[in-house]
Amino acid sequence: EAQVTQNPRYLITVTGKKLTVTCSQNMNHEYMSWYRQDPGLGLRQIYYSMNVEVTDKGDVPEGYKVSRKEKRNFPLILESPSPNQTSLYFCASSSGTEVYEQYFGPGTRLTVT
């Protein structure tokens, strides 16, 4: 089954404790992206990657890092999480020829206390 998986689905952590949210897709997609969703602010893009070793900033990259060492994986790294990064995070992927037909993962609900 074609899918995008994210782990963990729920995470409660404390300020400053580094964490990684993993994202993996099994569709051999070139394009992958991370979004955060907050009430009243909608979906905002954090980072995206056009292919292995190619990443670029979205609209809200501050406080986040990403890497794309393998085509299927696109982890989101919070080096020093802060409470304002409490949010619902989505990973998405798409083919390089249909970038905007994105498949989204189920989401990761992160709480930073």
Partner 1 sequence: DAKTTQPPSMDCAEGRAANLPCNHSTISGNEYVYWYRQIHSQGPQYIIHGLKNNETNEMASLIITEDRKSSTLILPHATLRDTAVYYCIAPSTGGFKTIFGAGTRLFVKA
Toward partner 1, which CB reaches closer, 14 or 54?
54
**Smallest distance from the beta carbon of 113 to partner 1, in angstroms?**
20
68 and 50 Cβ atoms separated by less than 8 Å? no
* 93 contacts partner 1 (rule: CB under 8 A): no
In whole angstroms, how close is the CB of 18 to partner 1 at the nearest point? 25
- In the complex, what is the shortest distance from the CB of residue 89 to partner 1, in angstroms, rounded to a whole number? 10
Contact 84, 77 (CB under 8 A): no
**By rule CB under 8 A, what count of residues binds partner 1?**
27
Q: For the window 36-75, what string marks contact with partner 1 as x by the rule CB under 8 A?
A: -x----xxxx--x-x-----x-xx----------------
Q: How far is the CB of 52 from partner 1 (least distance, A)?
A: 15
What is the DSSP secondary structure assignment for residue 87, as one 8-state letter? E
Please provide the DSSP assignment of 93-108 as one string. EE-TT-TTSPEE---E
Q: What DSSP string runs through 33-73?
A: EEEEEETTTEEEEEEEEEETTEEEE-S--TT-EE--SSSSB
Among the residue ranges 15-23, 67-75, 78-86, 95-103, the one whose residues contact partner 1 (CB under 8 A): 95-103
Does the protein bind partner 1 through residue 102 (CB under 8 A)?
A: yes
Rounded to whole angstroms, the Cα distance separating 101 from 79 reads 30
